[in-house]
Amino acid sequence: MRDPMGNVMLILSLCFCSVAKVCASDSLLSPKGVNFEVAALMSMKSKMRDEYGVLGGWDINSVDPCTWSMVGCSPEGFVTSLEMASMGLSGTLSPSIGNLTRLRLMLLQNNQLSGFIPAEIGKLSELQTLDLSGNQFAGEIPSSLGLLKHLSYLRLSKNKLSGRIPGPVANLTGISFLDLSFNNLSGPTPKILAKDYRIAGNSFLCSSFSVETCMDVPKPLNDSSSSYQKVGNHHRWILSVIIGVTCTFAVSVMLLVCWVQWYRSRLLLASYVQQDYEFDIGHLKRFTIRELQIATNNFSSKNILGQGGFGVVYKGCLPNRTLVAVKRLRDPNFTGEVQFQTEVEMIGLALHRNLLRLYGFCMTPEERLLVYPYMSNGSVADRLRDTDQEKPSLDWGKRLHIALGAARGLVYLHEQCNPKIIHRDVKAANILLDESFEAVVGDFGLAKLLDTRESHVTTAVRGTIGHIAPEYLSTGQSSEKTDVFGFGILLLELITGLKALDAGNGQVQKGMILDWVRNLYEGKRLEVLVDRDLKGSFEAEELEKVVQVALQCTQSNPNLRPRMSEVMKILEAIAGQSVHQEESQQATSNQYEGRSFSFSRNLSGGIHDQSSFVIEAIELSGPR
């Protein structure tokens, strides 16, 4: 039985969608301001039981679902991914899922969802990855899945699906991996055109293409074929004896296998504890997937530290009680193993006190994971928006120190790494804080790692809306000046305590924090934008200088933005710190002699000195 309310919402959403396509600028809204994707997601939420409250942030009054947990969006604002794996969700999957027409990735594996798989999924013409494995879905596999011509990964294993394998699904030619194993599928097995597929664990499935040759294969209990009705009592008795003996033998074998596995796991765990987990500089440890599963309690949702454009981060504990952060990369189109390992080793060579140290990595055919040290104070974004009164807020001195540390890390990436590394997603959420509140730049190199193309020009723009430089958003071309723009937004986040797309308690319109700060700067009203938590602990002159730096970094013309080395010099001067060691001062004294470290109020100009800036290695760190 289909839910009448679900059908009503489906019809309304389709009607709204036809109206919305008339105007590209309002492609998500109806004339009455209804967001179709919000309606579809809220319909999904209403059909699910959320025991752990992971859907608590999904709000029917929101016009933008892109900020919701587990929801990913395109730069245009369309929902393109739902990553809801292992979230303890139950209930059913709403047919309104078919209204998310731009969806490319849907991961719902390892939950407790039941009912039928909605045929409306066949409307998701751009869907590339679909994983519904490890649930309790029943009924037949919808033939409409055969309409998904862009589908490259389909996993429906470990459910209670019955009936035959639909011909349209078997005939999908572009699919790289199809997994229908461990269900109750029956009938003849059609010719499957997927490059790789799995159908094991379907006891009623016949390997022959012909229906006639499959007559003697047992059918599911709800199959009403006449052959089962003609079995006599004698034959049934014999069959029962055979089944009983077989089951007894199978149970015995399974108990033996389980005991062997338990014994081996005990030995393996003991060997893990005996391993030395010292991470030498320049050497990365290659973890096994089993090690990281044990460390994160099988990637439990309770251990999630955060998630973003690159993947989900889990807190983990190694056998020697070392706390780590395990980043599970979300990109389904993985690079080859050799290329991935090469790129990871290049990232691992970047060692600096203000860069997040990479401990190691893990590769499987279906997984790519990176292991980092656990940062006890979280990210700058967490601390700016943390309401926990027991944790001290970031005062002005700490914020200046954080900005300077992040600048030093970016200078190292831009000017001391060979080849240089462009971050592409500089923001408060990617600046982590260690136990001493030292700023540590994280996620550097991941944009390159997940982009298989060699060029720095890519059509797959990676980053966060509100932090992306205009030239990168429009052309896909990134450079060091792309990171400079993101750093400027980071400075504004440190000053205001707001997100780049925050509402600012009614003072800032969405997406306009930069214009808001510029207007206040020109009107000499900088005290309005300062975070309330600072409580007058800042110097007005220092505040003005930092705002000047931020506005110079965020100019629309990338050629007018300063280099990170110049920004670092200015912040060092503001913070009253030494610029370099004695030898560095002598080497660069002629270049910077008589130069002022404050910017002019005329923001149309820029720093025009583009001469080379040689920096010595800045405080390379030991193991973190």
Name the residues annotated as catalytic: 425
Determine which helix (DSSP H) or strand (DSSP E) holds 591, and give its type and residue range.
Answer: helix 582-592
Q: Tokens 């967001």, residue?
A: 35
Helix (H, G, I), strand (E, B) or coil at 437: coil
Amino acid identity of 79?
V
Q: What are the structure tokens assigned to 398, written together?
A: 């700490």
Q: What are the backbone angles phi and psi of residue 528, rounded to the nearest 5°?
A: -70, -35
Q: What are the structure tokens assigned to 386, written together?
A: 């943390």
Q: SS3 sequence, 344-375?
A: HHHHHCCCCCCECCCCEEEECCCCEEEEEECC
Per the CB < 8 A criterion, the answer to whether 430 and 573 are in contact is no
Tally of CA atoms within 13 A in the half-sphere of 275 that contains its CB: 17
Give me the sign of the Cα torsion angle 377, 382, 388, 389: positive
DSSP 15-75: HHHHHHTT-GGGTTB-TT--BHHHHHHHHHHHHEEETT-TTTT--TT-S-GGGSTTEEE-T
Per the CB < 8 A criterion, the answer to whether 360 and 279 are in contact is yes
Quick one: which of 102, 94, 109 has its CA closest to 123? 102
Distances (CA, A) of 509 to 505, 515, 517, 531, 597: 10, 10, 12, 17, 32
Q: What are the backbone angles phi and psi of residue 298, rounded to the nearest 5°?
A: 60, 45
DSSP 34-49: -BHHHHHHHHHHHHEE
Q: Tokens 């036809």, residue?
A: 18
| Angle value at C-alpha 271, between 266 and 277, nearest 5 degrees | 135
Q: What are the structure tokens assigned to 331, written together?
A: 């990109």
Per the CB < 8 A criterion, the answer to whether 99 and 17 are in contact is yes
Residue 40 CA to residue 79 CA, distance in Å, equals 11
Helix (H, G, I), strand (E, B) or coil at 141: coil
Quick one: which of 150, 116, 154, 153 has its CA closest to 135? 116
